[in-house]
A and B are shown apart, each in its own frame.
Chain A
Amino acid sequence: MSEKPAKTAAEAAALKAKWSAMYDKCVEAKPMGAYFSLEELMEFGVAMSDTELLAICEELVSCNLFAVAMAKGSLRYLTRGKELAIKITGLQTDTRVVYSHIEASGTNGMWKRSLCQKTNMHDNRVVKAIRELMAKKLIREIKSAKAQNRRIYILSHLDPSEENTGGNFFSDGAMDTGLIEALGEFILRHIETHSWAEQKVPAGHKARGVKRKRNADDVPASADIEDLPMFKVPLGPNKHPLVPFPPSHRDYPTVSTIMDLIDESGVLKDVTLQEHDVKQLLGKLEYEELVEQVPNLDGQPPGYRSTRRVWDRHPGTVDWNRPLDPADDGVGPGDGFTQVPCGRCPVFKACRPGGVVSPETCEYFEPWLKF
């Protein structure tokens, strides 16, 4: 009888030596909180067989030095610090279960509702556990860009994943429009200065040009309406018209040059932009039709150039009470329909001849038709 406990004691001592050796190796191999698969643990050479390995892991889990997690479809273990393990040992069972689930979710964090579902516990018990964990500063609540109203919990020492923050353009789960606009403006200004060439006025051109040649792009004051350019001609810094670079031009800004520019200029303080961030911003500018991609014929990534700016970028609200300017067409966005009161009429759908809202009595027409 007395032999058996002694034997187990010896075994336990051996096991203890093994699992502490295992734990040390793990801590050595990867930083705290890293995942280990069974194969990786086996390679440490501490355990001789699968059953032994499982026994060791079981022991580590029961000491709270290991946590069980599912990752990439298989069982993984992750390491915990010794102090943390002691803290966890002091927790109640409910709380410990909740903690381990939050821990297993990693940087993604876990929603309260999913916690209830996974732990199969009542809402109240989960709330109580969360409160305890929050009080002990083991977990914290974050706002996610994915779902702003959800309460998501994450281990307090972890930074939320990009999926939760939404990337660099989010702060506190909300889109940082200030940053986006400012940075977009910065990029756009850079692209604009590298997109269009200022026309060189050829020698002798001026003397000839004034006398008999009529240019489409610089208009004499007395020109007929039909000779006026259809669109406002964008001018460069020297007040000469901007013209496209020849097709052989290769120096349009690309994603990488723009990234370098941002890094060098130091416009961003605590944010480091990744390439996909810059791409996202350029995408936004492209969707705004402020920039466009120019294919590179050498097989390099495409460059960006600004779309020819023929009207103000922020047209603002158009006052349709103002008399129509015949030269208006083409100077700003809009068409024959948006230039008339009907194009912005709030009761357009209700309008019919003889109705309450009718073309005969329309009050928007009055000021519009006045000269």
Chain B
Amino acid sequence: MKKRLSELLTFAVGDFYGEFHSRVFGALVENGRLPFRTLVAKSGLLPTQVRGALITLIQQSFVSFQTTDEGATNYDANWEKTYNFVIRSGKLLQLVKVRYGDAAGVVCEDLFEAGHARVGELIKERVSVKEKPASTKGGAVNGDGVNGVNGINGVHVNGVTEPEGHGPSPEQRRRALNKLVRAGLIVPLNERDMKSVEDLKRSAERNLIGTKYDHLPKTKKEKTNFALDTQQLLDGWRHESLRYFGDGEYSSIKRGNPFDEDSDDEYPAKRRKVHGRTNGVNAATGPHPETDLVVRLNFEKFDVLLRNQQLVKMAARYVGETTSKVYDALLRALETKTSRCYEPSLDHEAEDKEQPFVKTHDIVPYLDPNLDLNVGLYGEDVASEMNGHNDDDEEPVSRKRKQPSSDAQYKVEQHLRLLAYDPRQFVQSEGRDWRVPYRALTKRLLQSQIENHLTARYGTVAPRLIRVLFANGRLEDKNISKLALVPLKELREMLYVLQKAGFVESQEVPRDASRTVNRLVYLYFYDQIKARRVLLDDVYQAMARMLQRAETEKAKIQVVIDKSERTDVVGNEAKYLSKAEKVALERWNQTEEKLLRQVNRMDDLVAVVRDFYPMGPDDSNEELYG
């Protein structure tokens, strides 16, 4: 199943870093975990070349390594991180720029290029020395966890070529970094982050067997408990590194935090309130962040932002544009309380019951001040004063009491009610408190993405059948025909197409003990997880094809590109390039943009289908259609 993904990633790594890296990475994804010697043999490169490539790949976390007690070191490719760096980085940078400003974009970009970096490096990079602020090393010291990787940390693989003095000043960078840290997008690097997911799990298991368990789990019950404990330990470890900046809730910044309150914060008044800070040290004079701390990008948090974008889009599609912007504000208000898309140790219902609440007045500051809240609302709704789903609160007395103080709040609540009463239930309310049933909603989003895909690919009948199967489970073709009201002949043709593509599966059930063919019942069913895998596989392949085609197109006019990049030509294009060459270059730019834009859009699909909802066995196939 991972063949297409490995093809895509190997190609993209080659695109970014060149052939050596591509071959080393390719050897690792093809063969799995390898010791250095075998890696050299499999990649067909010289040991020095492999070593050089490995340094970059490890620095970027594309490759992880573990050294056994006997001293043997094995290397392993890391799918998720590689994908995020080579395919998704452009989108994430764009997101950061729009949200947190250009300086934050630059800081993120540096971090993308470096993989992980010391705070000092991030702040001073590309800046002339005299502008660098005197760093005070007196801040809280927390060297734990980063020692192992400090060695690699200084290596600059992508030599900074831009002239100095450009870009944001150190002060701007520091502020940008603070914003990103507060948003949870940048977190301190922990030794554990360098390990692959499997290794981390294994070491958690080993840890447990030494302490809580004295033997490997044998019975089924023991195994379930063991898996649960392992997950809890992993969550604990994860929390440990996230909690570095505060001792309580995720991302709430408290005393002892080296990244101080920022004066040019988006919503300073609100922030101060949320974090309960009154004695914030002035950013300009206060202690500077510890420059030796090594930080990394937190992709889990990026996934949360991407998911929220998609949820807003879904609200825009089903409810309305303005309402979706209100929803966006709500989701952003909740972002600080959400550290990742889902908790692996919780099941569907349990997690949605524990989602955090946010109050209306905390949502309002996140709204675009230019947004006209009257749009998308139908006049005055007298009865809408009633309270969420609690029908008891409908008495006029309590209605009066609940009259919101400001007009904006009132309007926001009107929009949120629309979302709450939508059949998809974008939000749940308890009085003035709002929360989002992320898990159920994400499943819905996922399903509608798959249906949307099938509509575009196979026409309107295909998603109809999928919806019937998704809502009703296993069915015979006759019953599908009755529910979807599609004639049997047409239905069978479409089922065949879907089955061949892997979106629908069938099962034979014998009607009696004889098991002859004509006494069989064929039941069709739809497995969402399987469908996701199938879809992802196709998309990975198409993405790889886009990149490969881009390379082909580039090779066609490589001569012109080389010429245009010559030092004497740069800046004098009008003088040295012929008209035909300019046209060719222009064409190439457009072609590349088009191809990459599509890769980017396909990545949207990948994010929805792969990253927002657990890929494991489904907890419950609850009714989607009422």
* Chain A residues packing against B (C-beta within 8 Å): 146, 148, 166, 169, 174-175, 177, 180, 197, 199-200, 202, 205, 209, 212-218, 229-231, 233, 241, 243-248, 280-281, 283-284, 286-289, 292-295, 297, 302, 307-308, 310, 314-315, 318, 324, 326, 329-330, 332-340, 342-344, 348, 351, 353, 359-360, 362, 365, 369, 371
Closest 10 CB pairs of A and B: A336-B601, A246-B381, A334-B456, A248-B383, A336-B602, A342-B542, A338-B456, A216-B321, A247-B421, A197-B378
CA distance A54 to B237 in the complex (A): 84
When C-beta atoms are compared, the residue in chain B nearest to A228 turns out to be B321
CA of A283 to CA of B460, assembled, Å: 15
Cβ of B549 and Cβ of A365 under 8 Å apart? Answer: yes
- The answer to whether B542 and A343 have CB atoms under 8 Å apart is yes
Q: Which residue of A lies closest to B385 (CB)?
A: A248
Q: Mark B373-405, 1 if CB is under 8 A from A, else 0.
A: 011111101111010000100000000000000
Of the listed residues B482, B484, B600, B604, the one surrounded by the most CB atoms of chain A closer than 10 A to its CB is B482
Assess whether B378 is in contact with A308, with CB atoms less than 8 Å apart: no
> A336, B604: Cβ atoms under 8 Å?
yes
Q: Indicate the member of B460, B478, B587, B590 with the most A CB atoms within 10 Å.
A: B460
Whether the pair B457, A343 counts as a contact (CB closer than 8 A) is: yes
CB-CB under 8 A for A233 and B321, given A199-B375, A289-B451: yes
A339–B539 Cα distance when bound, in Å, is 11
CA gap between A338 and B449 in the complex, in Å: 12
Closest to A299 in B: B391
**Which of B321, B488, B604 contacts A231, CB < 8 Å?**
B321
Chain B 315-348 interface residues, beta-carbon cutoff 8 Å to A:
316-325
Bound complex: CA A339 to CA B423 (Å): 29
Asked if B184 is at the interface (CB within 8 A of a chain A CB), the reply is: no
13 new A-B contacts, CB < 8 A, other than A197-B378, A353-B548, A362-B545, are A180-B485, A209-B372, A216-B375, A246-B377, A248-B386, A280-B483, A308-B319, A332-B456, A333-B456, A334-B452, A334-B455, A338-B453, A340-B546
Give every chain A residue within 8 A of B486 (Cβ-Cβ).
175
Q: Does B235 touch A at the CB level, under 8 Å?
A: no
Contacting residues, chain A, for B421 (C-beta < 8 A): 247, 294-295
Contact partners of A230 in chain B: CB under 8 A? 313, 316-317, 321, 324
Cα distance, A334 to B549, chains bound together (Å)? 22
A153 to B153, CA, bound (A): 85
**Complex Cα–Cα for A231 and B322 (A):** 12
Instruction: Jot down 23 A-B pairs with beta carbons below 8 A, ordered by A.
Output: A180-B485, A200-B379, A213-B372, A217-B376, A244-B376, A246-B378, A280-B482, A283-B483, A284-B464, A284-B485, A287-B484, A292-B423, A293-B625, A318-B456, A334-B456, A335-B601, A336-B539, A337-B542, A348-B541, A359-B544, A359-B545, A362-B545, A365-B549
* Interface range on chain B (Cβ under 8 Å from partner): 35 or more
Report the minimal beta-carbon distance from B598 to chain A, rounded to whole angstroms.
5
Neighbouring B residues of A214 by C-beta, 8 Å: 370-372
Our pick among A233, A315, A337 for the contact of B539 (Cβ within 8 Å) is A337
Task: Report which of B320, B456, B545, B597 forms a contact with A342, defined as CB distance below 8 A.
Answer: B545
The docked-state distance in angstroms from the alpha carbon of A310 to that of B313 is 12
Any A CB within 8 A of the CB of B591: yes
Q: Return chain B residues, CB-CB under 8 Å to A293.
A: 423, 625-626
CB–CB B552/A360 < 8 A:
yes
B483:A302 contact, CB within 8 angstroms:
no
The answer to whether the Cβ of B417 comes within 8 Å of any Cβ in the partner chain is yes
Decide: B601 and A339 in contact? CB cutoff 8 A: yes
Cβ contacts under 8 Å, B423 to chain A: 292-295
Inter-chain contacts of A215 with B (CB < 8 A) = 322, 372, 375
B414 at the A interface (CB under 8 A): yes
B104 an interface residue at 8 Å Cβ cutoff?
Answer: no
> Chain A interface secondary structure, helix, strand, loop or mixed?
loop
B418 at the interface (CB under 8 A from A): yes
Complex: how many Å from CA A20 to CA B626? 58
Q: B388 → chain A, closest Cβ, in Å?
A: 10
Is B468's CB within 8 Å of the partner chain A? yes
Q: Which residue of A is nearest B313, CB measured?
A: A230
Contacts of A371 in B (CB 8 A): 587, 590
Q: Does B463 contact A (CB under 8 A)?
A: yes
Interface string of B455-478 (1 = CB under 8 A from A): 111001001100110010000001
Contacts of B604 in A (CB 8 A): 335-336
Known A231-B321, A244-B320, A335-B449; contact A314-B460, beta-carbon cutoff 8 A = yes
Q: How far is the CA of A351 from the CA of B418 in the complex (A)?
A: 47
Contact B542 A216 (CB under 8 A): no
Q: Which residues of A contact B626 (CB under 8 A)?
A: 293, 295, 302
Q: State A195–B602 Cα separation when bound (angstroms).
A: 34
Cβ–Cβ < 8 Å partners of B538 in chain A: 337, 342, 348
**Contact A336 B600, CB 8 Å, known A175-B481, A230-B313, A248-B386:** yes
Contact of B467 among A197, A287, A310, A324 (CB under 8 A): A287
| Minimum distance in angstroms from B590 CB to a CB of chain A | 6
Q: By the criterion CB–CB under 8 Å, are A335 and B453 in contact?
A: yes
- Nearest chain B CB to A270 CB, angstrom units: 20
Query: Which residues of chain A are near B482, meaning CB under 8 Å?
Result: 166, 280
CB-CB nearest in chain A for B591:
A369
> Bound state CA distance, A244 and B424, in angstroms?
14
Complex Cα distance, B37 from A316, in Å, reads: 57
With a cutoff of 8 Å between Cβ atoms, the chain B residues found around residue A202 in the complex are: 374
- Give the CA-CA distance A333 to B459 in the complex, in Å: 10
Residues of B within 8 A of A197 (CB): 378-379
Report Cα–Cα, A173/B230, bound state, in Å: 59
Residues of chain A with a CB closer than 8 A to B545's CB: 342, 351, 359, 362
A359 touches B605 (CB 8 A): no
Q: A336-B604, A342-B545 are in contact. Are A229 and B483 (CB under 8 A)?
A: no
**CA–CA, A199 and B372, complex, Å:** 13
Docked-complex contact B420 and A359, CB < 8 angstroms: no
B601 CB contacts on chain A under 8 angstroms: 329, 335-336, 339
Residues of B within 8 A of A294 (CB): 421, 423
Establish whether residues B321 and A229, one from each chain, have CB atoms under 8 Å apart when the complex forms.
yes
The reply to whether B318 and A174 form a contact with Cβ atoms under 8 Å apart is no
Q: Which residues does chain B contribute within 8 Å of A360, judged by CB atoms?
A: 548-549, 552
Contact yes or no, B420 A247, CB < 8 A: yes
Q: Nearest chain-A residue to B450 (Cβ)? A: A335
Enumerate chain A residues within 8 angstroms of B463, measured Cβ to Cβ: 289
Q: Smallest CB–CB gap between A228 and chain B, Å?
A: 10
Q: Looking across the interface, which residue of chain A has its beta carbon closest to that of B421? A: A247
Given contacts A200-B378, A216-B322, contact A340 B598 (CB under 8 A): yes
Rounded to whole Å, the gap between the CB of A25 and the closest CB of chain B is 42
B487 interface residue (CB < 8 Å to A): yes
Within the complex, what minimum Cβ distance (angstroms) separates B22 from chain A? 13
Most buried by A among B324, B384, B594: B594
Nearest Cβ on chain B to A324's Cβ, whole angstroms: 7
Q: Which of A233, A248, A287, A362 is the one whose CB lies under 8 Å from B483?
A: A287
Interface residues of B in 583-626 (CB under 8 A from A): 587, 590-591, 594-595, 597-605, 625-626
Contacts of A297 in B (CB 8 A): 391
Any A CB within 8 A of the CB of B131 = no
Q: Which chain A residue has the least Cβ–Cβ distance from B465?
A: A287
**Of residues B391, B539, B603, which shows the largest number of chain A Cβ atoms within 10 Å of its Cβ?**
B539
For residue A338, which residues in chain B have a CB less than 8 angstroms away from its CB? 453, 456-457
Q: Nearest-CB distance from A32 to chain B (Å)?
A: 33
Cβ-defined contact, B478 with A146, below 8 A: yes
